[in-house]
């Protein structure tokens, strides 16, 4: 049965001004790239063709259209192995044009947060990720509910204000 939820590329393609992404988990479902990193394999950042993915190109194309893309991650410290890997591969996100910040969870205590990771497009369309306990996305929900959009927008901005820019966040 086909999903009625628009794909990420479609939502980003409709975006005109901004896309923000808030991540709240300390781990997500393992991927081959994560497993390779755990085996000691490292990215040759000088060989862009070896690591540049369609996602990176989508972000670069969107930023080139004038859309500002910001990602904030709330993380427990000491960080999990997964977050250590995410920090390592974030170089690709930044190269593609995303602005990325990290907020230690202990500094988020006074922030009202939604219960799920989300993307917010142009401050109006919200894509909420619902995960299983082991970090697999089981459903994405699209909503324009003004109260939920307002809550998520305010949460993101509060996190962004307190968070540390990627290049300054040492793990």
CB neighbours of 10 closer than 8 A, spacing ≥ 6?
none
pLDDT surpassing 60 at residue 167: yes
- How confident is the model at residue 3, as a pLDDT? 56
- How confident is the model at residue 2, as a pLDDT? 44
pLDDT surpassing 70 at residue 1: no
> Is 8-168 in CATH node 3.30.870?
yes
pLDDT surpassing 60 at residue 118: yes
- Read off the pLDDT of residues 10-63 as tens digits, 9 standing for 90 and up: 999 999 999 999 999 999 998 999 999 999 999 999 999 999 999 999 999 999
pLDDT surpassing 80 at residue 165: yes
Q: What is the 3-state secondary structure (H, E, C) of the chain?
A: CCCCCCCHHHHHHHCCCEEEEEECCCCCCCCHHHHHHHCCCCCCCCCHHHHCCHHHHHHHHHHHCCCEEEEEEEECCCCCHHHHHHHHHHHHHHHHCCEEEEEEHHHCCCCCCCCCCEEEECCCEEEEEEECCCCCEEEEEEECCHHHHHHHHHHHHHHHHHCEEHHHCCC
- Read off the pLDDT of residues 56-91 as tens digits, 9 standing for 90 and up: 999 999 999 999 999 999 999 999 999 999 999 999
- Residue 4: which pLDDT band, with cuts at 50, 70 and 90? confident
Mean pLDDT computed over 139-150: 97
Q: How far apart are CA 75 and CA 46, in angstroms?
A: 29
- How confident is the model at residue 41, as a pLDDT? 98
Model pTM? 0.95
């Amino acid at each position: 049965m086909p999903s009625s939820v628009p794909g990420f590329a479609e939502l980003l393609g409709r975006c005109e001004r901004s896309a923000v992404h808030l991540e709240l988990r300390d781990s997500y479902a393992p991927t081959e790239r994560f497993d390779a990193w755990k085996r000691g394999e490292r990215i040759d950042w000088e060989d862009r063709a070896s690591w540049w993915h369609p996602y990176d190109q989508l972000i670069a194309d969107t930023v080139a259209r004038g859309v500002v893309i910001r990602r904030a991650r709330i993380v427990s410290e000491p960080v999990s192995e997964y977050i250590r890997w995410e920090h390592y591969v974030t170089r690709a996100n930044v190269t593609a044009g995303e602005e990325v910040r990290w907020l230690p969870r202990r500094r988020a205590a006074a922030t009202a947060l939604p219960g799920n990771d989300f993307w917010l497009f142009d401050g109006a369309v919200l894509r909420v990720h619902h995960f299983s306990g082991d970090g697999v996305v089981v459903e994405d929900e699209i909503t324009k509910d003004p109260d939920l959009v307002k809550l998520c927008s305010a949460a993101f901005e509060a996190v962004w204000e307190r968070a540390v820019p990627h290049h300054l966040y040492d793990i």
